[in-house]
Amino acid sequence: MRHLAILLAVLLASGCTTITSGYSKTWKIDPVPGALLTPPFEYRRWHAELEACLEMERSFERVSWRVVEEIDWRANVNDEWVAASGLWIHPNKIYLTYDFLLNPRAEYHLVRHELIHYITQLPHPEVNVLISQCVM
């Protein structure tokens, strides 16, 4: 309940950017801006691979990359609520947590996951099939 009150307070105080993330939920909030991230070359390569897999195009240069210590967003994974390690905010912001950037295997899956959201502009659950086709 406390998180809902905080969320509502932030919503009222913020400029209200639409977040399309999480399972069938759309929130109007912008998390703490975080540090800007200059994406490594691999991200551009992964983006190109995903465009080919998805048969869609969206400019890599338009993505605003941010790094944060944590994301106050929970996702339902196998009926368990877990803290998110990445977050796509419609239309072009991608937030990543520091801990995932330090783990190359996790970073690969997380960045590709968020890039699929960005390229398709789709939230969960609509994007789930595409993620399993193009990330795994």
> Domain map of the chain by residue range?
2-134
Question: pTM of the entire structure?
Answer: 0.72
Q: What is the mean pLDDT of residues 5-16?
A: 32
Please, are residues 129 and 120 in contact by the beta-carbon 8 Å criterion?
A: no
CA–CA dist 65, 95 (Å, integer): 6
* Predicted pLDDT at 40: 92
3-state secondary structure at position 83: strand
Q: What is the mean pLDDT of residues 89-117?
A: 90
Torsion of CA 17, 83, 134, 58, to 10 degrees: 20
Model confidence pLDDT, tens digit, residues 80-91: 666 778 889 899
For the purposes of burial, counting CB atoms within 10 Å of the CB of 38, is it exposed (0-12), middle (13-18) or buried (19 or more)?
Answer: exposed
Judge whether residue 122 has pLDDT over 80. yes
Task: Tell me the HSE value of 114 on the side-chain side, using a 13 A CA sphere.
Answer: 28
Model confidence pLDDT, tens digit, residues 23-70: 333 433 455 567 889 999 999 999 999 999 999 999 999 999 998 887
